Structures are given as C-alpha cells and as structure tokens.
Structure 1
Amino acid sequence: MLPPRFRECVMAYRARVELLYLLGFSLDLVNMFIGTVAYPALAVDLHASVTQLAWIGNAYMLGLAVVIPLGSWLAARLGERRVLCLSLGVFALGATLAGTAPTIEALIGWRLLQGLGGGLLIPVGQAMAYRHCPAAERGRLTARIMAVALLVPALSPTLGGWLVGWGSWRAVLLVSVPLALLTLVLAGAWLVRPSPAPAPPLDWRGLLLGSLGVSLLLVALSLLAESRQRGLGVGVLAAAAVVLACHARTTARSRHPVLQWSLLRHVPLRLAMLVYLLVPGTFIGTQLVTTLLLSRQGYSAVAIGGFMLPWAMASACAIAITRYGLARWGARALLSAGMLLQAVGIVLLLAVQARQPMLPVLAFALMGLGGSLCSSSAQTLAFQSLHGDALLPASALWNLNRQLSFCLGAALLACVLGALSAVLPGRAFPVTLLLASGMTLLPLLPLWRLPAASLSPRVTSHE
C-alpha cells in the first residue's frame, strides 16, 4: 500500500519502478554480453587459458543463480528498497574490483561477487514492476522488457569492441559502474520505504542444498561443453541431480521454502518456463553450432555476426506483434507460430552453403521472429494471472530458469556435436541441427493438451 502522498500519482510511481527495473535488467544483460569481445586482449594481459576465460562469464552466472533464491526472504526481511540498493552497491563494487583485478583468478572471484549483487536486481525489480502494473497493461510492460532484452545484447558487443579499441579490456568491465551508481541513487530517491513486516523464517537447509545443486549443475554444463572434460561433467551432473533431489524433498517438507516450487502448479507459469527453456535456450545452442558451421564454410567473423542483424529486426517485429496480438489471437496461437517459425529457420541452416548469404539471412530472420514471439508471449503468460505475494517468488523461479536456459541448450548441443563429430563426422552438424529443431517443438505437446481457458489472462489456473 502506497503512502497517501503517492495515491494521486500512482502512474508516476509505477513508471519510476518500471524504469528502475529496466535499468537493472540492462545492467545484467550488459554484463552477460559485452565481455566476449575483450577476451583476446584479456587473455594476453592476464595470461589466461580458454577455460579461465569461460569462467569469467560462468562465475557471474553462478553468482546470479546462487543468490536468486534469497530474493523473497531478503525482500521480506529488509524491504525491497533496501534489497535493491544493497544489490546495486555490491554490483558496483564487484564491477570496480573486476575491472582493476591484477590476476585472472582475482577477476573470476570479483565476477562472482558482481553476480551475487546482480542476482537480486532482476527478480525483486521484476516483481515490483508487475505488481504496480494492472493486469490489462502487462502485455505492454512485457513489450518494453523484451525491447531491452533485444537491444542491449545486440548493442553490447559493439560497445565492448569500441571500448577495447579506445582503452583496454578493463574499460569493458568498468563501463557498468556509472550506470549502477545512477540506478542506486534513483532507487534511494524514488522508492518508498515499506512499513515494517515480519519476515518468515529462512529455510537454511533448503537454501544450502538449492545453491549447491544449482552451482554443481552450472559447473557440469560448462564441463560438458568441453570434449576433454565430459567424463567429469557427467559425474558432476549426477552429483547435482542427487543434491537437487534432496533439495526438492526438503522443500516439500518446509513451511517456508526458499524457492516456492508449489507455484509450478500454476499452469501459465509452468508452461512459460518450459517454453523459455526450450525455445530461446535452444537458440543459444543453435547459434553456437551455426557459428562453427558457417566458419567452416568460409564465412568471416564479421559476416557471421552480421546475421544477427536480420534476427534483431525480426525480433523487433515479433515484440510488436505480441503486444497487439496476444489479446486478439491468444497465447496458444502465438506460441505455436513462434515454435514452428524457429524450427523451420533451424532446418533451413541444413542447406546453407559458402558464398550464399541469403539463406542464413532468412534462417536467422525466421529464428528471430519465432523465438521472440515465444519469449515475449511466455513472459506475459508467466505473470498475467499472478498478484500480490506470489509475484516475488514466481519471479525468482522465472529468472533462475532464465539463467539456466542460457547455458543448458548450448551445453547440450555442444556435447551432441562433439560426440557425433567423433563417430559421424560427415553428419554431425545436420543431426545436431535437426535435434535443435525438434527441441524447439517439444513445448507444443503440453501447450495443446491444456484447455484454452487455462491460458486466458482472466484465469488463475491450477492443476
């Protein structure tokens, strides 16, 4: 409940909350996509191996995944305003220390700290943004979120390349510090101080088991992506499964679980998470496989990167279509069309040949159109019927799933490609791409088994 002095300017306060969330979301995306272009210079300066370079990104994602389950409890204990300010402060500190790190080991450690700070920005800010947005206007909010999710990853590598050329790789890591501090000042000035409220007891056992399980899962995925480490990766993956099973058992018995898995009984949220895992997640893996395929066929790095331009343009069209078409045609139609378009785009890559760029342009455009139809529809679907106290724990589940989707598809397809290259060297790429196309279509099965009423924005459905 807002204080009386804010009741007459709810729209203004809602816009401020939304802007703060989008700034935090931008910080997260910048730090996930800007650093790759700095790796060559960083490797020379800090004498880093390829595995160490990979852990610059992995450590940041690990920090995000570990701290996300704490979001609900910390928000109840400290208040959302304090949590956001604390997160932004830790994020800025981690970025500063990472940008001035003297060794690669120190850099990886500070990136972990930066991820721990950034991990609370997204679920807490997202829950606040959707809570202050009427259900009828959440489609427009999702369109703005997806626009940021499109523009920032597309522009970040260009900005990173310019910063490396103008200064050094350290500038790439330090560039987010001013934006983090600006967001911190705005959060302190704009957000209202909440009334004191009792916080539920923290399920420490569930938190430790969940954090350990997710950490082992991320480590396993990174190991599986490397051919020489796959045996170890399988062992770590088995350990992750055991720990996560123990976490599920502990959570089922807890009155105040650190992650409210019971929210997965909410049909739209469960379906949206599955769609995000298997459609945008599969595209990340497909992009890796396609980059290797196009490189073998003689396409330059500039040309391969240029194929993301039609992807970005088609994605922008998809966001606009979702904004106006979700209420008219429904989530089932848009999700089905999106999956089919991305699957067709992946299949078209089977026919790509050297010096014939129009086919990969068309393929990437179809993947951008289909993938963004699914991701933007899924984002709206996930939160359209959630209200009040359910928003923050649902946001934690959603963002944990989002982080896993970024590495799960890439690790799986890289593993399949590596294994097939050893036994079917001439068919490795086609079979891997066909698998990716099939993975994209998997959510069609549960989507069409659900009654249409369960996907309606006016229905809060449980099974």
Structure 2
Amino acid sequence: MSGRPAPVTAQKLDGAVLKVAGVVVLGAIMSILDVTVVSVALPTFQEEFGATYARVAWTMTGYTLALATVIPLTGWAADRFGTKRLYMAAVALFTVGSVLCATAGSITTLIAFRVLQGLGGGMLMPLGMTIMTRAAGPERIGRLMAVLGIPMLLGPIMGPILGGWLIDVATWHWIFLINLPIGVIALVYAYLVLPRDAPEPSESFDFLGMLMLSPGLAALLFGLSSLPEEGTITATRVWAPMVAGALLVIGFVLYSFRPEHPLLDLRLFRNRNLAVASITITVFIVAFMGAGLLFPSYFLQVRGESTLHAGLLMAPQGLGAMVTMPIAGTLADRVPVGRTVPFALILIALGLFTFTQLAADTSYWLLCGSLFVMGLGMGGTMMPIMTSALKTLHSHEVARGSTLVNILQQIGGSIGTAIMSVLLTSHLDDSTPVPLPDGRTVTEAQIAIGAQLNPAAAPGADSALIQRGLDFAAGAFASTFWVAFALVVLTLVPALFLPRRRRSADPTGDQSATAPIMVH
C-alpha cells in the first residue's frame, strides 16, 4: 500500500532511543560488575571470615536463589505497576543491598544481604530489556545491541580487574560500595529519561502459581547449590529440597496451562524460535557459567596470582567479545542466526579445548589467547540467540517472554556451577592424603592450594610436596574442563535447528517484539 510507513529497518537509532539505552546500560553494568567482582573475592572471604570455600560460595548462591524467587513476579509486576517505577525500585533495592553487604560483619550476614541484592538484581535485566524493546522496536534490536554490546561488556572485563585492585589496595568492602554512585546516577537518569508509566488494567495475579513456582525454584536451586558442600547427592540437605522443589515445579508446569494469565506463560514455547533458542541457551549456560567459575580459581589457586592479576588475565575473554558483538548485532538484523551461531560455538569449543590440557605451568600466552578466542565466540553467540528467541513475540508477550528466558538462564547457571564445583572438589579429594600433627588429614593438592593462596602461612613447606599438589590440582581442573567442553559441543545440536531463513515481515504490522536478554 502506498500509504504504508517506511519499514523500521530503514530507521537509524535516534537520540531518544540511545538515552533510554543509557539507563539500561547503567543497570546492566552495575549488576554484571557485582557478579564478576564477587567471583574473584571468594578466597578473600575465606580468609576474612575463616570459612570454607563451599560456605563463602553461598555469597553467589544466595544471590541466585533470590533471582529465581523474584524473576517469575517481574512480568506481572511490570504490567501492574509500570516498567519505569518497577525498574527504579529494583535499582534502589540493589543499591541498598550493596551498601548493606559492605557493612557485613560475618559470612552469614553477608549472605543475607546478598539475597537482598538479588531481589533487586533479578528484576533489572528483564525490565531493562522490556524497556529497550518498546523504545527501539524489533527491526532495530540487532543494531541496538551493536551499540549496547561494548559498554555492557565493560562489566565482565572491568569487574575482576576492579575487584582485584580494590581488594589489593583497600578492603573487600569497596567491591560492594562501588555500586552506590552507579546506583544513584542510574536512579536519577531513569527518573529523567524514561517515559511516564501508563500501566494498563492489570491481569489477575496467579497466587497459586506463585506458591508453587517461586518456592519450587528456590528449593530446587538450594539443593543443587548444596551439592558442592555436602559432596554427595544422597545427603538430606541435597536430595530433600531438590525433590520437593522438583515436585512443586512439575506441579506448576501441569497447572500453568489452566489459568488465562499464569505466573509463567509456558504457552510461549509454542513459538518454535523461542523453544529452540531456549534449549540452546540453557545447555550453553550450563557449560559457560560452570567454566566461568573455574577460570579465576585456576589462576588464584594453582598459579598463585593475586586477585588483581587474576582479573587482568580474564580480560582477554571480554576483549574478544567486544570485537565480535557489534558485528554479530548488525548481522542479527540481516542474517538468520542459524547460519552464524554454530560457527561462534565452534570458536568457543576451540578456545576451551586448551583448558582441557592444563598443567601447573601452562603458558599464559596460550591461555590468554584461548580466552580471547572464546570471547570472539561469546560475542557471536548470546545476543544473536536471544534476538532470535524473542524477536517474534508480540508486544503483550514482551515482559513474560523475558521472564521465561531469565528463569531458564538462572536454572542453567546454577546447574553448571554445581556440576563443576562438585567435579573439581571430587578430583581434588583424590590427591594423596597427608596426615597432620594435630591428627587431621589433608591432601597434597589442598596443601599446595593453601600455600598459593597464602604463602605467608606456609613458610618452609616441602617444595616437592607442593609441586606434586599443584600438578595434581592442574590435572583436576583439566578433567573438569573436559565436561564444560563436551557441553559446548553438545550445544551445537540444538543450535543447528535455529532459524536459517529470514523471517518475512509480520503481516499484522506488530513491531513490538522483544529484545535479547543479557546473561546475569
């Protein structure tokens, strides 16, 4: 028709869209910084609070449990209260939680305050992407992510470096206090830039679904996350919440097709693109999040690097993603993701293969080069898959589609970290036992790792014993990386079913599909 408006593909990103993008970037960097900063601080928490690694790992696990609890509520709450109000509330809650974390005097209170942080952090990403979608429209999503990709990647690059530097030159408290100025700026910026909310009459709230899904996810992830500490799935603390959580989740799945407006809309999986991309991203997240836990641990525990140096050594991965993410964002608007994502996954597998050959003295040039190659693949994987998954959803499905994908990411991330933690711990426990004068027995690998983390606590230690322990520990990491490698290769199977043909224009003219979701 001659009166039809020009297609959105002909439009460039205007100033109004870029201003809204700035709000989302600030929230994303704040939340991503927090995750990556804490990952390099775990050994510091061990020393500061005199706790085991499994115990301090709950500073990350508690955050994840909170995410799983609050994410299902986000779609309904966005419809009920409006995205601007809810986004500002999420930023405020996250910022307050960060400040409280800095005041923690014990590992227990730190974990509790991390849960509070997670209640705010769980809403940031789905809300931010919903806001971006409505501002930009579906045909400009790929181009928009090309603009947003680089600043968003500053979080994972700068997080370990900034966290390591703050711990080295100041105290661990500052890794949380850095969120205070960013949070205040984000609040003011959101108030000034985001359009006024005009929430439509809200759907009825699915209380029964909430009573099954949120506690079910929390219990399931609690059991999974307890596995590294307990060391066996037969422990009551592991299997009991896992079984209870699984039953509640299964009950929710069976129930969710009955109400008109369920808490989590599983009917969206009827969309083939969303279903295939969700399977792909879930398998990939299990591998990526699990491996992501191992990289800094190897540098800290086997190579004896400081937290700052460990952060710097992780930077090549983010730099590699910075190279390909803008390209992938542009291609996502033009080339079906089924033609690009498999090649990106192959790059990740190639880079990860190096880590299956780890030794106690593997060249840093080789490791950093491999991380860079993995980063190149990362930049061409996450955003295109999410673009494909959610680009075909209509405007009324935006918030709920984002919520659904975020839930799958959190479950996949928790499964990945639990699997890799258990495997690594199991391999390390197979090291030669050494009896101590006080009657305790530790392994050579544990002694060697302790000497690397705190050389001052092991003066005059048997150098031959430490070297044997380090060699064994490096082999334990390599064996665990084989599992992550296999999972990345497995991801190629669903990736081959991603769209390989361009989608024709929506005959309804609906331009309000949704945007990709950043991993949190």
TM-score, scaled relative to structure 2: 0.78
Partner of 2:288: 283
Contact 1:283 1:371 in 2 (8 A): no
Distance change >3 Å, CA 389–CA 418, structure 1 → 2: same
The letter of the residue matching 2:347 is L
Partner of 1:317: 323
Partner of 2:421: 414
Distance (Å, rounded) in 2 between the aligned partners of 1:297 and 1:195: 55
Structure 1 residue 307: deviation in Å? 4.2
Distance (Å, rounded) in 2 between the aligned partners of 1:52 and 1:132: 43
Partner of 1:435: 483
Partner of 2:257: 252
Q: Deviations over 1:261-309 (max 9, x none)?
A: 1112222222332232223441232344456667787574677655423
Distance (Å, rounded) in 2 between the aligned partners of 1:181 and 1:86: 12
Find the partner of 1:210 among 213, 229, 243: 213
Q: Deviations over 1:14-44 (max 9, x none)?
A: 2232211111111211221112444455445
SS at match of 1:255: coil
Greater shift in the superposed pair: 410-419 or 380-389: 410-419
Partner of 1:5: none
**How many residues were matched structurally?**
450
SS at match of 1:91: helix
Q: Does 1:399 align with 2:406?
A: yes
Distance change >3 Å, CA 231–CA 249, structure 1 → 2: same
Distance change >3 Å, CA 166–CA 256, structure 1 → 2: same
Distance (Å, rounded) in 2 between the aligned partners of 1:86 and 1:376: 26
Distance change >3 Å, CA 193–CA 312, structure 1 → 2: closer
Q: Deviations over 1:201-237 (max 9, x none)?
A: 1111111211112112221222223353543324432
Partner of 2:193: 190
Structure 1 residue 435: deviation in Å? 3.2
Distance (Å, rounded) in 2 between the aligned partners of 1:294 and 1:179: 29
Partner of 2:496: 448
Q: Does 1:175 align with 2:178?
A: yes
Greater shift in the superposed pair: 41-50 or 99-108: 41-50
Q: Deviations over 1:73-115 (max 9, x none)?
A: 1122211222122222222222222222333322222221121
Partner of 1:367: 374
The letter of the residue matching 2:494 is P
Find the partner of 1:157 among 160, 174, 191: 160
SS at match of 1:101: coil
Partner of 2:140: 137
Distance (Å, rounded) in 1 between the aligned partners of 2:421 and 2:51: 22
Higher helix share: 1
Give ranges in structure 2 of 5+ residues lacking alignment.
1-12, 433-471, 508-520
Distance (Å, rounded) in 1 between the aligned partners of 2:121 and 2:191: 17
Distance change >3 Å, CA 27–CA 304, structure 1 → 2: closer
Find the partner of 1:94 among 72, 76, 97: 97
Structure 1 residue 129: deviation in Å? 0.3
Greater shift in the superposed pair: 307-316 or 199-208: 307-316
Distance (Å, rounded) in 2 between the aligned partners of 1:102 and 1:123: 32
Distance change >3 Å, CA 118–CA 451, structure 1 → 2: closer
Greater shift in the superposed pair: 168-177 or 430-439: 430-439
SS at match of 2:383: helix
Contact 1:213 1:240 in 2 (8 A): yes
Distance (Å, rounded) in 1 between the aligned partners of 2:244 and 2:143: 42
Q: Does 1:106 align with 2:99?
A: no
Q: Deviations over 1:352-384 (max 9, x none)?
A: 443433432343233222233111211222232
Structure 1 residues 119-130: aligned runs within 5 Å:
119-130=122-133
Distance change >3 Å, CA 263–CA 303, structure 1 → 2: same
Structure 1 residue 66: deviation in Å? 0.9
Contact 2:273 2:389 in 1 (8 A): yes
The letter of the residue matching 1:270 is A
Find the partner of 1:239 among 241, 244, 248: 244
Distance (Å, rounded) in 1 between the aligned partners of 2:223 and 2:364: 36
Distance (Å, rounded) in 1 between the aligned partners of 2:134 and 2:323: 27
Structure 1 residues 295-314: aligned runs within 5 Å:
300=305, 305-314=311-320
Structure 1 residue 329: deviation in Å? 4.1
Distance (Å, rounded) in 2 between the aligned partners of 1:363 and 1:82: 43
SS at match of 2:234: helix
Contact 2:30 2:155 in 1 (8 A): no
Distance change >3 Å, CA 269–CA 161, structure 1 → 2: same
Contact 1:279 1:339 in 2 (8 A): no
SS at match of 2:414: helix
SS at match of 1:366: helix
Contact 1:99 1:170 in 2 (8 A): yes
* Aligned-pair Cα RMSD in Å: 3.0
Contact 1:346 1:363 in 2 (8 A): yes
Structure 1 residue 424: deviation in Å? 11
Structure 1 residue 399: deviation in Å? 1.9
SS at match of 2:116: helix
Q: Does 1:340 align with 2:387?
A: no
Partner of 1:4: none
Partner of 1:3: none
Distance (Å, rounded) in 2 between the aligned partners of 1:387 and 1:55: 38
TM-score, scaled relative to structure 1: 0.86
Distance change >3 Å, CA 242–CA 136, structure 1 → 2: same
Distance (Å, rounded) in 1 between the aligned partners of 2:219 and 2:315: 35
Distance (Å, rounded) in 1 between the aligned partners of 2:103 and 2:498: 52
Q: Deviations over 1:379-403 (max 9, x none)?
A: 2222322231111111111222233
Contact 1:278 1:409 in 2 (8 A): no
Find the partner of 2:58 among 55, 59, 73: 55
Distance change >3 Å, CA 18–CA 298, structure 1 → 2: closer
Distance (Å, rounded) in 2 between the aligned partners of 1:319 and 1:450: 19
SS at match of 2:252: helix
Distance (Å, rounded) in 1 between the aligned partners of 2:295 and 2:97: 34
Give ranges in structure 1 of 5+ residues lacking alignment.
1-9
